[in-house]
Amino acid sequence: MKDQACSDFVFMPLKSEKVSKNSRGGTPEIHSNSETSTTESSEDSMVRSKIVVVGDCNCGKTSLIQRYVKGDYSEEYKPTGFDTFSTTYNVSETYKIQITIWDTSGDAGYDRVRPLSYSEADLVMMCFSVTDPESMDNIVSKWLPEVREYCPKQPIMLVGCKTDLRNEQKSSSVSSSKKQIVTYDQGLKTAKHIGALVYSETSAKTSLKSVSDVLEVAALSSAGTKSTDSPNFRKQRSFIRRKRFSGVSDAKTQLRKEAVKSCVVM
């Protein structure tokens, strides 16, 4: 199945560092992203990228992020309020992407404050659970309108979470207890329908590779598609060009070349 880890993805392995995490269940800490910039020294060059993760409650957003940033996974469900995480993706020895990931709550009680997190987002990751068809339906009926209201032009990635449960269900011998699951093709169709840049499936529980692919492709995509409103856009764009790296197109090329199965670039 498509969530299987790709064994020879060419990007450098993640070196993660948890820099900040805050306000689980609390008021969002709204950072000004005016520091969005390219930091260059003779050795190190950094592009900053803000990724906002949304989707229904319990669909697996926090687990996906935590598995990538901290490398761990918990069966325990603790509803999120707002959290932010930072990590550095080392694309090459001299090119790094500082990713700030905003984890939001899917709870309707946060509908009025969640929009604050979209400010200056470079990419929005919309998540659903493959074990919960309603969470995918809500991508179209709830999440797309909200995201497009606050992020009209930013690229969107659609991510189907918890694929280990789909595989588990397939192998279950008790057919009467089988719940409806979202198939890969249904997820892909929804991704095309909403105009997503990438469709991907992950299991935070069983595949670190799948979550790394998703977040690294998100970082690459967002780094190449900075909003022209960003104060440092020109500087950043010229930096990316000098490094012969153009974000989305390079991600697409790399992904196609390496036949990465966990991410489909549209």
Ligand X SMILES: Nc1nc2c(ncn2[C@@H]2O[C@H](COP(=O)(O)OP(=O)(O)OP(=O)(O)O)[C@@H](O)[C@H]2O)c(=O)[nH]1
Least gap, CB of 142 to ligand X (angstroms): 13
- Report the candidate in 90, 79, 82, 87 with the shortest Cα–Cα distance to residue 119: 82
Residue 105 tokens, joined: 């709550």
Residue 88 tokens, joined: 């550095």
What separation in angstroms does the CA of 96 have from each of 3, 16, 38, 157, 243? Answer: 26, 12, 10, 21, 11
- For ligand X, the closer of residues 91 and 126 by Cβ is 126
For the chain, how are helix, strand and coil distributed in percent, rounded to 5?
35, 20, 45
What is the total count of residues that contact ligand X (CB under 6 A)?
22
Binding positions for ligand X, 45-64, rule CB under 6 A? 55, 57-63
- For ligand X, the closer of residues 38 and 80 by Cβ is 80
- For ligand X, the closer of residues 23 and 34 by Cβ is 23
Least gap, CB of 74 to ligand X (angstroms): 6
**212 near ligand X, rule: CB under 6 A:** no
Least gap, CB of 248 to ligand X (angstroms): 26
**84 near ligand X, rule: CB under 6 A:** no
**70 near ligand X, rule: CB under 6 A:** no
- Neighbouring C-beta atoms of residue 74, cutoff 10 Å: 12
Q: How far apart are CA 10 and CA 92, in angstroms?
A: 10
Contact window for ligand X (CB under 6 A) among 90-98, 116-124, 160-168, 231-239: 160-168
For residue 49, the cross-strand partners are 99
The site for ligand X (CB under 6 A) is made up of 55, 57-63, 74-75, 77, 79-80, 105-106, 161-162, 164-165, 203-205
